[in-house]
Structure 1
């Protein structure tokens, strides 16, 4: 679209005054990407460089960290999250099932609580939504970032992460369940003395992850809150961590519950 020169000049004037791109785009009815392109071209024409954005990282700058929100987000990252870090693109992504909008909202809220100075976004994917937050500093907060899938490399929490996990084990458990876990109802049948059978149902929580290290993070957190667990195997390999004892399921229901 060919925009009037007057519109372009007014947009550039607003941006030079320090107005945010989204606000300027909404004010003049110009797409956000077009505003960014105009500003970039204007800087090139005038021989200017883009101003460096002030860092706002709890690890780099010693800013306060919402430790409870971080513990939850750590669980989400270890399960369904990854970091994209390229020369011009840096973001944390967590993939959330479309059937659980509550989990999606809680994940985005945790991102904003942990890194309040940076924007978030959502992108629709087949069967799920990618919840994203944009800053290279996510690598500082999740030093487990690296090439390849998590179960193919060691995943070890740093001492400061271990302190947060010990301080807030339930948000960590909740984040792990919201990413790679579920609450299910199992059933079995019992044969009575008269030869008839009776169906018995019981709830349990399952956490499924190929990484021995990530399953250990989960089981250590369960130990910290007094939840009994056992490992279920898929073939010869440990695969699931199951919580099925009545008292332990009641604790999980109180602090985690079903996804929503």
Structure 2
């Protein structure tokens, strides 16, 4: 952290104690906002000030009704391309979205607000993608699958209350999984027609995930919806789920459709 003159720190603390916000102090004094926050934290600790927990609307902690269709969709996004960074009291949920689908980025942020109301959200540009973030320590209450290491390296199971939501809104769960780790594209092959080889095109949905458990959550849901699927292995890795049967693709199109 950059070293600043003690008088600058004293001026910042005086402003903070008078009620000026961290952002306003940072802008006024030309100091990084993170530095101002650290000064405030250290000052409170030195004075023995206990900071009350921020108000929250966690449905699990407060027994509040949860937006079930929004949660089912967010669950799919989380299982595919999401993770929670847990650092004491400063947790945040991150969903990584490809920049080629701006509608998905908007939906991810909007859904976070619907599931855990009153939380701050933001976006962070990465190379080729956008990290959509929402800050609350209560995201771990809503996604008990959180834990150390990669999701495909540990057991992933839905709790009873999550499974109940998934059973009630299966298409939203599938849509979230497809929007995170899946796609709809046009495949092609050739076949003989009237003695001539012609190109034949057909749409297909694809879902790819290294976690056996997450793929099973996806395929079990497809089974309940009457969607036919099969596993396509590249080499010895059965990471890919294909949906290519015309009736099943039509059913997926009616509820999912391509990313946008």
Q: Deviations over 1:141-173 (max 9, x none)?
A: 111111111111111111111100000011101
Give the unaligned 5+ runs of structure 2. Answer: none
What is residue 18 of structure 2 aligned with on the other side? 13
Q: 1:237 to 1:41 in 2, by over 3 A?
A: closer
Local SS of the residue matching 2:65: coil
Local SS of the residue matching 1:182: strand
Distance in 2, matches of 1:47 and 1:166, equals: 49
What is residue 116 of structure 2 aligned with on the other side? 115
* TM-score, normalised with respect to structure 2: 0.86
What is residue 214 of structure 2 aligned with on the other side? 214
> How is 1:33-112 mapped onto 2 (pairs within 5 angstroms)?
33=34, 36=37, 39-40=40-41, 43=44, 47-112=48-113
| TM superposition shift of 1:93 | 0.9
Q: 1:56 to 1:253 in 2, by over 3 A?
A: same
Tell me if structure 1 keeps the 8 A contact 2:227–2:248: yes
Tell me if structure 1 keeps the 8 A contact 2:12–2:25: no
Tell me if structure 1 keeps the 8 A contact 2:183–2:207: yes
Distance in 1, matches of 2:16 and 2:83, equals: 36
What is residue 242 of structure 1 aligned with on the other side? 242
Q: 1:200 to 1:134 in 2, by over 3 A?
A: same
| TM superposition shift of 1:9 | 5.7
| TM superposition shift of 1:235 | 1.9
Distance in 1, matches of 2:253 and 2:36, equals: 48
Distance in 2, matches of 1:7 and 1:215, equals: 52
Local SS of the residue matching 1:223: helix
Tell me if structure 1 keeps the 8 A contact 2:56–2:118: no
Instruction: Tell me if 1:143 matches 2:148.
Output: no
Distance in 1, matches of 2:236 and 2:12, equals: 67
Query: How large is the RMSD of aligned CA atoms in angstroms?
Result: 2.6
Q: Deviations over 1:123-150 (max 9, x none)?
A: 1112111111111211111111111111
Distance in 1, matches of 2:259 and 2:26, equals: 36
Tell me if structure 1 keeps the 8 A contact 2:58–2:116: yes
Distance in 1, matches of 2:212 and 2:77, equals: 17
| TM superposition shift of 1:224 | 2.1
Q: 1:185 to 1:251 in 2, by over 3 A?
A: same
| TM superposition shift of 1:174 | 0.6
